[in-house]
Amino acid sequence: MPLVRIDLATGRTPEQVRAIADAIHTAIVSEYGIPERDRFQVITEHPAQQIIAQDAGLGFERTEGVVIIQVFTQRGRSDEAKQGLYRAVHDRLIEAGVASEDVFIGYVENGPQDWSFGFGRAQYVTGELGVPDAS
C-alpha cells in the first residue's frame, strides 16, 4: 500500500496528468503485486520555476517536463525489487510521453505503525488490516 506523491509542472492536459498517474500505479501493481484498488496518489502541479531538479552530477539536463515521484511504503523490499519498480515506473512513463531524463523517484520506507487509514487508529497495529507481504 504505497502512498505516492507526484509533482510536476503545470501545462499538461488533464488526460496527460491522469496517464502519468495511471502509469505509476500500473507499475507498482505489476511489480509489487498490490491490489488494483490499493491506490493512494497525491498529484500536485507547480509553476515550472517552482521545480528545481538538476542532474545530481550525472551530466544531463532535465526539461520542464520533469516528474518527481515520492513513494512512501512499508520497509522490507529487496534492493532488486526496488530496482525493478524504478525500471517499471520509468518504462511506463516513457509510454505516457515523459522523457527518460525527466523521471525522478524518491523512495521512503516506514513500518506498519506509521499508517492510519482513518478513525484515529493504526489499522495494521490494531489488526483491522493485515500487514502486507513485502515480497
| CA gap 126, 130 in Å, rounded | 9
112 is catalytic: no
Coarse DSSP helix, strand, coil percentages of the chain, rounded to the nearest 5 percent: 35, 25, 40
Which of 2, 14, 47, 112 is labelled catalytic?
2
CA distances from 41 to 37, 101, 125 (A): 11, 22, 23
| CA gap 27, 41 in Å, rounded | 13
Q: Answer yes or no: are the C-beta atoms of 28 and 35 closer than 8 Å.
A: no
Q: Answer yes or no: are the C-beta atoms of 123 and 117 closer than 8 Å.
A: yes
Cell of 39: 491506490
As annotated, the active-site residues are 2
